Amino acid sequence: MSEAILTESELVQQFPEAVSPDTRKGYEGYIVAVDHLVEVATHLRDHMGYDYLSSVTAVDYLPEGKMEVVYHIRQSTGGSPLVLKVQTPRDHCVVPSLTPIYPGAEFQEREAWDLLGVKFEGHPDLRRILMWEGFHGHPLRKDWREGYFEEESKPFKSRWPDGHIRRSETVNPFGRNVDYPAGFDPESFVPQTETALYAGLAQPESDDDDIQTDQVIVNLGPQHPSTHGVFRMVVKLEGETIVDLKPVMGYLHRNHEKIGERNTFLQNMPFTDRLDYFCSMSNNFGYALAVEKLMGIKPPERAEYIRVMMAELTRIVNHVAAIGFLLNDLGAYFTPILYAFEERELILDIFEAVSGSRMMCNYFRFGGVARDLPEGVLQKVKELVFERLPRKIDELDMYLTHNEIVRSRSEGVGVLTPEQAIAFSTVGPVLRASGIPYDLRRADPYSIYDRFDFDVAVRYHGDVYDRYLLRLDEIHQSIRILQQVVKGIPEGPIQEGKPQYQVRVPPGEAYGYVEGPKGELGYYVVSNGKPNPWRYHVRAPSFINLTPLATMCKGQKIADVIIILGSIDIVLGETDR
């Protein structure tokens, strides 16, 4: 840590006129002058080893009349993130794009433009990404109001403490949740076309081939089972070969972050379940860590062990499902996924016993967990991790890994080089299958992961086959961790202090993160000392891992695109939020 602090102080010495420490109470990092942002970011990447852009978001400080763009930048060799901030007037939010320096900023900058109205100059494709073109306003701005707007924050007075329940739409002037902007006439409205989307596809290159062929544009999805949800890919084809591809998302967007800023801190916990709905325990984990940083509290020992247990069981649940779905995408319909789901169901039995729910667990609390392990659950986990799971995962390995069709369809397909994997800010199995042994449980340990003996799984070809193999490897490492957890879990309390329905969160900012099954899942939370977050942002791995999709698909066939997408392993609830 001392080396990191020394290195960061060098940043101020290098740019004394452009960089200054953020001295606001409860805040960290550095404030960078807008006109020096590109210069500073380039220096960080090229000379200080900060080659990995983790997160980009913005905060609307309406009372102060300013917008703040926040960057979390990491070293791919490990360590805590460096936090940079750029402040602009909120009525003229223009910031240089970092996409030419960190290509992984592309989708995140588009999101900040879409939801907060920050314009990134020099961005190669600055369009809306979660809302549709023609949408009025930027929903995460503090002065934006939704159709059924009632109050800025919950609990709404109509519900508590007065308890006069009513349906909002009965008294809402917008009737059926329609709020037309000034001067808008629905009768004469002509929707904006997707001209910009299609124009962004690569133009045909002239060649000397004697055979003249046409390039055609085809939409894959959004209503298609092979896209793993309401996800759309606009592809330009020459024959069956992909010339270019543009991912289109947002069909499942419900402005999770706006809801999160209306909720109290504790009310957000069950909402995190519904991001990656395969991995609710991991979702809870990251959010709990962010708020605990703000509150300055630490869970008791037993709660820490229970958290790690639930997180690693979740990793196994995710990976067996991802492998089963990948085989579906390859054409081995249903038999492999049913084998995989049998093991998933046994783990969901554990989740149901401890939380009362199989998928939407709502189990973590600030300072611990909601309830202790019921009688007999620890013994069931012990039987799973010492007996059944190692045997069953070896069976999956035996049936699939050397299957001729699996190998011929996935080896050398969807290749992402190590340099591309870092540049595009990929995380989790996508990053590690490209030869980068980066895992937050080792690179920047949280909770009690530094106590356990396990290896960071890594593969080196960066193709679909290695992403499959890496998930198998990670299941074995999760089993190793779980075996140590069940042997070492102590007795004791599972909650720091008394359970609270309303928590006191001091003013400040915090970034809480976990190595979720799909990669770095981060929560950037800003508190102004009130019961509700001022800013609540989710760094979603399913969203950011799609950034290099076009690069991975160019030159491949249509059938390959389906398995490349499957090997990334996205969940649309997290992608779209």
Q: How far apart are CA 347 and CA 273, in angstroms?
A: 17
Mean pLDDT in residue range 135-161: 80
| Pairing, β 241-248 against β 232-238 | antiparallel
Mean pLDDT in residue range 241-248: 88
What are the structure tokens assigned to 394, written together? 């070896």
pLDDT at 175: 57
Residue of 155, 160, 161, 158 lying closest to 169 (CA atoms): 158
Tally of CA atoms within 13 A in the half-sphere of 223 that contains its CB? 0
pLDDT at 6: 43
Cβ atoms of 340 and 332 closer than 8 Å:
no
Which secondary-structure segment (H or E) carries 442? helix 440-443
What are the structure tokens assigned to 487, written together? 């042997």
Residues with Cβ within 8 Å of 114's Cβ and at least 6 positions away in sequence, in order, are: 128, 129, 130, 131, 138
Q: What is the pTM for the complete model shown?
A: 0.89
pLDDT at 204: 61
pLDDT at 215: 83
Cβ atoms of 218 and 237 closer than 8 Å:
yes
Q: How far apart are CA 54 and CA 444, in angstroms?
A: 13
pLDDT digits (tens, 9 = 90+) for 37-78: 999 999 999 888 899 999 999 999 998 989 999 999 999 888
pLDDT at 2: 38
Q: How far apart are CA 563 and CA 123, in angstroms?
A: 29
Helix, strand or coil for residue 298?
Answer: coil
pLDDT digits (tens, 9 = 90+) for 282-315: 999 999 999 999 999 999 999 999 999 999 999 9
What are the structure tokens assigned to 40, written together? 């500073």
Cβ atoms of 71 and 55 closer than 8 Å:
yes
Q: How far apart are CA 114 and CA 131, in angstroms?
A: 7
- Predicted confidence band at 507 (pLDDT cuts at 50, 70, 90)? very high
- In the predicted structure, residue 529 carries a pLDDT above the cut 80: yes
Mean pLDDT in residue range 520-542: 92
pLDDT at 220: 85
Indicate left, alpha or beta for 461 from its phi (over 0: left) and psi (-120 to 50: alpha): alpha
Q: How far apart are CA 321 and CA 517, in angstroms?
A: 11
Mean pLDDT in residue range 450-467: 92
Three-state secondary structure of 449-472: HHHCCCCCCCCCCCCHHHHHHHHH
In whole angstroms, how far apart are CA 30 and each of 8, 23, 198, 524?
A: 9, 9, 39, 16
Residue of 276, 265, 450, 257 lying closest to 366 (CA atoms): 265
Residue of 281, 350, 269 lying closest to 312 (CA atoms): 281
pLDDT at 181: 73
- In the predicted structure, residue 167 carries a pLDDT above the cut 80: no
- Predicted confidence band at 96 (pLDDT cuts at 50, 70, 90)? very high
**Length of the chain, in residues:** 577
Q: What percent of the chain has a predicted confidence (pLDDT) above 70?
A: 92
Mean pLDDT in residue range 404-423: 90
Q: How far apart are CA 332 and CA 222, in angstroms?
A: 22
What are the structure tokens assigned to 204, written together? 């045909």
Chain mean pLDDT for the chain? 87
Q: Angle, nearest 10°, between helix axes 558-568 and 464-488?
A: 20
pLDDT at 576: 87
Kindly tell me the burial class for residue 329, based on how many C-beta atoms sit within 10 Å of its own C-beta (0-12, 13-18, 19 or more): buried
The string of DSSP letters for 70-135 reads EEEEE-TT--PPEEEEEEEETTS-EEE--TTT-GGGHHHHHHHHHHH--EEET-TT---SSS-TT-
